[in-house]
A and B are shown apart, each in its own frame.
Chain A
Amino acid sequence: SYELTQPPSVSVSPGQTANITCSGDKLGDKYACWYQQKPGQSPVLVIYQDTKRPSGIPERFSGSNSGNTATLTISGTQAMDEADYYCQAWDSSTVVFGGGTKLTVL
């Protein structure tokens, strides 16, 4: 079965750039999306189709996908961005989530 691998945790200082990676076999040939989940809340879609932002998502969120790695980039990270982030892709009629990355802003 298809697997997506994320680092368990990423730390970033306020105002700096955070990069969260998601690895999978030939992931660049598929569409990847990203979700943000804060404690006690439902997930929120922040990037879809590799690079697109839903309405209401700040411009500091961006995405890329090439080769075996998709990346979520948060520029000028703010304290409010501290959350768990999950990548997701679709393979052979199956939806797959990465294990999640806890982003700490300190």
Chain B
Amino acid sequence: EVQLLESGGGLVQPGGSLRLSCAASGFTFSSYAMSWVRQAPGKGLEWVSSISGGGGHTYYADSVTGRFTISRDNSKNTLYLLMDSLRAEDTAVYYCAKGFVDLDYWGQGTLVTVSS
């Protein structure tokens, strides 16, 4: 059974940093691209970033380019999202998902709140 478990969310001040993790199990992690998608309170889904299975290719939404860094450790079956220079508008539930376009499995999400 595929499982994705995010962690690392919380309250952070504007300008601060946070690292999210996503522990994956139930599939060959290194064979699949992985993505982060966020959802601000009461709003729709917004793609944030994706990374290829080997980690050599990364993709970012314009809204986070230069501030967020996606990475993965295939030896630990874990996906990461390092978020720097956080803004109020980054407040959202962050989901990790398996795949790049066809996101066939999603985690339960972790809430990031950026506020002073």
Contact = CB atoms under 8 A, between A and B. Distances in A.
Contact of A95 (B44, B101, B107, B109): B101
Interface in B94-116: 95, 100-104, 106-109
B35 interface: yes
A99 interface: yes
Interface in A49-78: 49, 54
B44 to A, nearest CB: 4
Interface residues of B, number: 20
Interface stretch (B9-17, B45-53, B80-88): B45-53
Contacts of A37: 45
A5 to B, nearest CB: 12
Nearest to A45: B104
A49 B102 contact: yes
B108 A42 contact: yes
B49 to A, nearest CB: 9
A93 B33 CA distance: 13
Contact of B106 (A42, A49, A88, A100): A42
B102 A97 contact: no
Given A1-B62, A96-B47, A54 B106 contact: no
Interface of A: 1, 31, 33, 35, 37, 42-45, 48-49, 54, 84, 86, 88-90, 93-100
The 5 closest A-B CB pairs, nearest first, are A48-B102, A95-B47, A42-B106, A100-B44, A90-B101
22 contacts: A1-B62, A33-B103, A35-B103, A42-B95, A42-B108, A44-B106, A45-B104, A48-B101, A84-B44, A88-B45, A88-B47, A93-B59, A94-B59, A94-B61, A95-B35, A95-B50, A95-B59, A95-B100, A96-B47, A97-B37, A97-B44, A100-B45
